[in-house]
Amino acid sequence: MITLALRMLFNDRAKYLMLVSGVAFASLLMIQQSGVFCGLMSWTYSSLRNLRAPIWVMGPKVEQVNDPKPLRDTDVFRVRSIDGVAWAAPLYTGNVQGRLPNGNFKLVQLVGLDNNTFTGAPGPEKFLAGSLDALRLPNTVIIDDFAVQRLSDGLTHPDGTPRKIGIGDVFDINDHEARVVGIIKAYRSFTGGPYVFTTYDRALQYAPPTRRMLSFVLAAPAEGMDPAIVAGRITRESGLRAQTEAEFRNETLFWFVKNTGIPVSFGTTVLLGLIVGLVISGQTYYTFILENARSIAAFKAMGASMSLLVRMLITQSVVAGLIGFGIGVGLSAGFGFLTAPKGQPPFYLLPEILFGVGGFILLITISAALLGIIKVARMDPDTVFRG
């Protein structure tokens, strides 16, 4: 009977397509919007993904990685002196204007790494061209792949055709020469400025001077020590604030969740997807039940138990829901593949999104089936004898 129930649904092409389309559209809306939301949120802590260090030390009032409160240069030594710290290195991060060969200005995310150790620098696997060691040469920077798109304005081949910025090209940062010696693949920054890596001292020359310039101190625990314990010790003994990489990432993420309208905006769309899915599939399925009311009453008259009818209705609804969900996932993944090369809009499809939306779809389909079940439960088998 379950197979027959499914054939009843599949052979009613119009209703079936409407039901599946409704669920597919709802799934697409929820998955795509959640994916873009997660992608956008992942941009908020890009610096933490591009610069890897077990412990981040910052000013006591810092709330998130994109808004450092400058420290004194001597704070690096204070951190190094704390028991349990294996190493500590200075880091500068800030937004500065880069001037392109055509005179145009573009905002860049400047990163100054420790002059000697380049602590926190992206690993060799991230390099698309050039090398980290080339940063030891004067006036040199390493740019990310996004900078190749953003900083190429006005660059041309000898024959006048446009070209992309590459190794050896020069642009200005705050009237200082910046020669490109490396290109890396980096996570996009939330502010939209491409990452430009250089040494700490050079970053201080590029950036507009302020009384304090040190953004963060990157540190690591001694071998065998828990980063959280060492971070706690740094906080207690230095008066600064130290967090593990994971803690700081979560804090940054939740700062954006709490202080921006982004979650509400995306949440509203996801909610709309849920409502649209519920309304379309609920209404379509209810119409399907109404149109088959006499057949269902005939089933009841012929001796179909209520539990069998419930199983038939739930199977019809859930199977249509799962097919719609599958199509929705496929379309969302297609969207992800299409946008991945440009990285815009950001799309980060977590397994949790799929499980969550899958749960919502199950809720939608069972709710739709429930409408039908209520109708069927109230249906007397002798309805079939009445006009």
Partner 1 sequence: MSDSSTAAIQISHVSKSFGQGQALVEALKDVSLEAFLGEMFFLVGPSGCGKTTLLSILCSTLKPTSGNVKVFGTDLTASSNRHLTRFRREHVGFVFQQFNLISTLTITENVSVPLLLAGAGTGKANRLAKEALDRVGLGDKIALRPGKLSGGQQQRVAIARALVHSPDLIVCDEPTSALDSETGHQIMEILDEVARDAKRCVIVVTHDPRILGFADRLAEMEDGRILNITTGTAHAAGLGK
Give the relative orientation of helices 306-339 and 13-44 as an angle to the nearest 10 degrees.
50
Is 382 a residue that touches partner 1 (CB under 8 A)? yes
Binds partner 1 by CB under 8 A, chosen from 102, 259, 295, 377 = 295
Q: How far is the CB of 381 from partner 1 (least distance, A)?
A: 4
304 binds partner 1 (CB under 8 A): yes
Nearer to partner 1, 306 or 338 (CB): 306
Please identify, using beta-carbon distances, which residue of 20 and 71 lies nearer to partner 1.
20
Contact between 371 and 286 under an 8 Å Cβ cutoff? The reply is yes
User: Residue 17, interface with partner 1 (CB under 8 A)?
Assistant: no
Count CA atoms closer than 13 A to 32's CA, side-chain side. 24
The tokens describing 257, both together, are 């969740």
Nearer residue to partner 1 within complex by CB, 7 or 212? 7
Q: Does 294 bind partner 1 (CB under 8 A)?
A: yes
In angstroms, what is the minimal distance from the CB of 316 to partner 1?
12
Quote the CA–CA distance of 337 and 76 in Å, as a whole number: 43
Judged by CB under 8 A, the stretch of 18-26, 43-51, 276-284, 290-298 that binds partner 1 is 290-298
The DSSP call for residue 151 is T
Query: Of residues 34, 238, 292, 317, which one binds partner 1 by CB under 8 A?
Result: 292
Which of 7, 52, 212, 236 contacts partner 1 by CB under 8 A?
7
Q: Is 293 in the site for partner 1 (CB under 8 A)?
A: no
Does position 11 interact with partner 1 (CB under 8 A)? The reply is yes
Burial of 24 (C-beta count, 10 Å sphere; 0-12/13-18/19+)? buried
Q: Is 299 in the site for partner 1 (CB under 8 A)?
A: yes
In the complex, the smallest distance separating the C-beta of residue 288 from partner 1, rounded to whole angstroms, is 10
Residue choice 134, 155, 298, 363 for contact with partner 1 (CB under 8 A): 298
* 3-class SS of residue 59: coil
Pairing, β 105-113 against β 85-99 = antiparallel
Whole-number CA gyration radius for the chain:
29
Q: Considering the rule CB under 8 A, would residue 378 count as an interface residue with partner 1?
A: no
Q: What angle do CA 160, 166, 170 make, to 5 degrees?
A: 85
Stretch that binds partner 1, among 105-113, 225-233, 234-242, 289-297 (CB under 8 A): 289-297
The three-state secondary structure class of 182 is strand
Q: Which of 129, 262, 318, 384 forms a contact with partner 1 (CB under 8 A)?
A: 384
Q: Tell me, what DSSP letter sits at residue 122?
A: P
Query: Residues 6 or more apart from 200 whose CB is under 8 A from it?
Result: 90, 91, 92, 112, 113, 114, 115
Q: 10 Å Cβ neighbour count for 295?
A: 12
Of 110 and 319, the one with the shorter C-beta distance to partner 1 is 319
Based on CB atoms, which residue is closest to partner 1, 8 or 331?
8
Nearer to partner 1 by Cβ, of 32 and 317: the residue is 317
Backbone angles phi, psi at 102, to 5 degrees: -85, 5
Interaction between residue 3 and partner 1 (CB under 8 A): yes
Number of residues that bind partner 1 (CB under 8 A): 28
Which among 5-13, 191-199, 269-277, 357-365 is the span making contact with partner 1, rule CB under 8 A? 5-13
Q: Please, which residues have CB within 8 angstroms of residue 97's CB and are 6 or more apart in sequence?
A: 105, 106, 107, 108, 173, 174
- CB of 314 or CB of 379, closer to partner 1: 379
CB distance 234 to 248 below 8 Å: no
Contact residues for partner 1, defined by CB under 8 A: 1, 3-4, 7-9, 11-12, 292, 294-295, 297-305, 308, 380-382, 384-387
